[in-house]
Copies of this chain bind each other. A is one copy, B any other.
C-alpha cells in the first residue's frame, strides 16, 4: 500500500511529472489497463481511478495493475450521493463498499460527490448528508480512508451536489479528524469563489486538502455544463494564482487532471496526456514549486 509520505513528495522541476495524476475520466475511452499503461509510459507518478473502471476488472486486479506499473492511486472517485429521502441504506452500503475499495487500492482519498435534491427542500438534503456522513466516518477511519468532500460548482446544486463551496465542505468536515474527512479543491468548481484564497488557507491549516484537481473553465460554456471542463490553458482559470494559494496552504500531494469534454474524449489518449503534461508544466507546476 502506498504510504501517505509517498504521496507527499515535494514537487521537483527535474522530475516534473512525479506528482501529476491522470484521472481515468480524462481518457474516458480507455480501459483501466490502457489508462495505467498510458500514465506509466508518460512518466506520470499517479492515477486517479473511477469505480466503474475498477469494477470492470475487479478491485484486486486493479490494485495489482496499478502497483505493477509503479503508480500511486491519487484518489478513488466516487462515493457520496447521500441526499435521497428514506433511510438511505443502499447508498450507505455502497459507500462502505467504496471505502473498502479505496483501502484495497491503496489510496487514502475517497472523493465524495454529495448528491442533488429530490424535491425542493435543500436544507433537508444537506441535513441528510451530515447525518449519513456521521454513519460513514467511523467505518472510513477504521480502514485508513479519508472521505474527501468535493464541493461542486453551484450549477450542479440541483442535480448532483448540495455542497457548493469550500467553506461549506469545511464546515461539514470539521466535526471529524482531518485524517478522516477532507475536502477536494477542484479549480473548475471553485475558481469563481470570492472567498477561495481564505478557504484554501483554512483547509490547509486544518490539514484537510485531500486532492488538488485541475482543469479549466471554458468560456463560452459547453451546451452540457458537465462537459464544459477544458484542458488547462483553454479557458479562463488563473492556475498560477490558485496554485500559489494551494502551495501556501501546505499541500504537497498529487495534482489530478480530470476533464469531462467531448473533444478530449474523442482525441487519442496518448496525445491528450502529452498536452496535459505540457500544460501542467507551463501553467500549473510553477506555482507549486518552492
Contact = CB atoms under 8 A, between A and B. Distances in A.
A125 to B, nearest CB: 10
A192 B164 contact: yes
A13 interface: no
Scoring A121, A126, A154, A195 by chain B CB atoms within 10 A of each residue's CB, the highest score goes to A154
Interface stretch (A39-47, A84-92, A215-223, A263-271): A215-223
Given A191-B122, A194-B164, A238-B120, A155 B153 contact: yes
A224 B117 CA distance: 22
B117 A236 contact: yes
The count of identical subunits is 2
B157 A192 contact: yes
A122 B221 contact: no
Contacts of A117: 236
B223 A223 contact: yes
Contacts of A235: 158
Contact residues on A (Cβ < 8 Å of other chain), bracket: 35 or more
Interface string A102-125: 000000000000001101111100
A165 interface: yes
B236 A225 contact: no
A232 to B, nearest CB: 11
A275 interface: no
A192 B154 contact: yes
Contact of A154 (B120, B193, B238): B193
Contacts of A225: 155, 221, 225
Interface of A: 116-117, 119-123, 126, 153-155, 157-159, 164-165, 167-168, 191-195, 217, 219-221, 223-225, 235-238, 241
